[in-house]
Amino acid sequence: MPLTTHFDETERVLTIAVNGRFDFNLHRQFREAYKNRVGDGTRYVVDLQGTDYMDSSALGMLLLLREHAGGDKAGIRIVHCNSEIGKILSISNFHRLFDIS
């Protein structure tokens, strides 16, 4: 499955895990994963451990998630990036917008 989600009720954290290619083909599924969590105090984790490819549309999807989650007040972590994806995020200056580890 290219995208899985898990919501921790206690911590109010929604984890979205992307496996394989993170590209436009996941746009609808990625949006559906978080769209019903408006203003409910949810924090977000995007787990890229199983991601082997990311394109510009994935960067756009992350920006849409950030906007949905409150922009500058958003609590979004991007975790488990491989070196190639980490490089893409760094070149795109996403470290200024997201907590990346």
Question: What is the residue-wise DSSP string for 45-78?
Answer: EEE-TTEEEE-HHHHHHHHHHHHHTTGGG--EEE
Q: What angle do CA 78, 33, 45 make, to 5 degrees?
A: 20
Residue 49 φ then ψ, to 5°: -60, -40
| pLDDT for position 39 | 63
Sorted by where each begins, the domain ranges of the chain are 3-100
CATH of domain 3-100: 3.30.750.24
Report the first-to-last Cα separation within the chain, whole angstroms.
23
Task: Write out the chain's pLDDT in tens, 101 residues.
Answer: 799 999 998 999 999 999 999 999 999 999 999 998 766 778 999 999 999 999 999 999 999 999 999 998 888 999 999 999 999 999 999 999 999 98
Q: Is the pTM of this model over 0.75?
A: yes
With residue 74 as reference, give the H or E element that holds it: none
43, β-bridge pairs: 13
Contact 3, 18 (CB under 8 A): yes
